[in-house]
Chain A
Amino acid sequence: MTRWLGVVAMLGVLAGLVMAFLVAPREMTQGNVQRIMYVHVPAVWVAYLAFLVVLLGSVAYLWSRAPAADRTAHAAAEVGVVFLGVNIATGAIWGKPTWGTWWTWDARLTSVAVVFVIFIGYLLVRQMTDDPERGARFAAVVGIVGALNIPLVHFSVYWWRTLHQPPTFAKPGPAAASSAIGAALLVNFVGLLLLCAYFIAKRYDLLRAQQEATA
């Protein structure tokens, strides 16, 4: 089951690469560098969906104490952090040639970084708690607080950066998104979503095997 998901995910990612490199048009001002957007933007969408899974899994675990719910939340948090890391890394790589800097305290960059740190905290709690069952409960509370905090982080950082100073650079990306660009984004989103689902399923299996081995 997991293996087939992996095969489908691989095909999805390949289709995404084909769309990004061959089908989508070359951007007028930025050139080929702009194609990194097809990984950069879907990665953050997928990461936030993974954190939604963390929220649901955490609530379900505290409600039912079913180990399956905890494993789902744990796996989704790890994979979400990886995808958010990919988003930040590709953003920096894209930012250097277009903005001239790896990092800037822009609203969206900052809020993504804060969410990244919150969910690293989620993983740390688990790691630093000796009893795994206790770690699962603690992590679930952090997961709920962290996920509910995401909208607050977004609003606060947005107001912090945009009310007092105007944006110093134009937002990157296509000015008028053509249909080929939209299609390429969509295909890449589906591809990365499948990849994310595959990673979560794989981590879930590993966590279960680990728990069965230690039990």
Chain B
Amino acid sequence: MTFVRRAWAVVWKDVLAERRSKETVNAVLFFSVLLLFVFEFTLGADRDRLASVLPGLLWLGVLLAALLGLGRSFVLERENECWEALLLTPGDKSAVYVGKLAGNLLLMALVEAVVLTLFTLFMNVDVGRALPGLLLVLALGTLGIAAVGTLFGAMTAHVRARELLFPVLLLPVLVPVLLAIVKSTEALLAGEPLGVVSHWLKLLVAADVIYVVVGLLTFDVLLEG
């Protein structure tokens, strides 16, 4: 099997398992809807104040949902005792990483679509003109979050208190990505052109490249368990 077909096999397995069990997606989507309520309750209904912190809230929603979703990805493999099967994958184990990463990207894209729609509906934001730029920022940021999340998820699946350690490891590493996406979202929603945030986009690309390359190179070390 080629690298791509092996990676595809992992994605297909994850999507199929999720389609039949509907465990992660349903819970994570519902969680992100609940977050919307929590934000509204804790920050009050003051439209002006809410508007000024909206880019932060939007990404906080995505990030918290990602912490739940990405952490599950490898825990499922352990609970169902499929870890050995992943280890038995012939050839380069980084194909498993690519497959898992793609599956996590799908999950996050779904969550982001829902969160973004709900935010525009409930928080009364006009994303229309900023949407193309916003989607670019969203894509680059999501890749960074998912790349580190997939790597650390494979690690913390084997660790005591994994629900605790996963965010503790992930959040500080993701500070550059978070700053980049929140600041660019802020600028784009304010109607600035994409050129204004080009330095943030470059930072996101650099972060994505570093995280994915490190993930590809070190994943087989983590898969050993």
Contacts and interface: CB of A to CB of B under 8 A. Distances in A.
A159 interface: yes
A138 B140 CA distance: 26
B221 A140 contact: yes
Contacts of A152: 176, 203, 206-207, 210
A180 B192 CA distance: 49
Contacts of A117: 172
Interface residues of B, number: 31
Contacts of B224: 134, 137
A117 B148 CA distance: 16
B129 interface: no
A137 B148 CA distance: 16
A121 B172 CA distance: 9
7 contacts: A130-B160, A137-B222, A140-B221, A144-B218, A157-B176, A159-B183, A159-B200
A30 interface: no
A160 B155 CA distance: 31
A128 B165 contact: yes
B159 A125 contact: yes
B161 A128 contact: yes
Contacts of A156: 175-176, 179-180, 203
B221 A141 contact: yes
A183 interface: no
A142 B214 CA distance: 10
B191 interface: no
Contacts of A57: none
A124 B172 CA distance: 13
Contacts of B173: 118, 121, 145-146, 149
A200 B165 CA distance: 26
B221 A137 contact: yes
Q: Is the interface of A mostly helix, strand, loop or mixed?
A: helix
Interface of B: 148, 151-152, 155, 158-161, 165, 168-169, 172-173, 175-176, 179-180, 183, 199-200, 203, 206-207, 210-211, 214, 218, 221-222, 224-225
A134 B64 CA distance: 28
Contacts of A124: 165, 168-169
Contact of A145 (B151, B199, B203): B151
A186 B165 CA distance: 39
Contact of B148 (A114, A138, A140, A145): A145
A54 B175 CA distance: 20
Contacts of A121: 165, 168-169, 172-173
Contacts of B183: 159-160
B170 to A, nearest CB: 9
Interface centre among A117, A130, A156, by most chain B C-beta atoms within 10 angstroms, is: A156
Given A145-B151, A145-B214, A159-B183, 19 more contacts: A114-B172, A114-B175, A121-B169, A124-B169, A125-B155, A128-B165, A129-B158, A129-B160, A138-B159, A140-B221, A141-B151, A146-B173, A153-B175, A153-B176, A156-B176, A156-B179, A156-B180, A157-B175, A160-B183
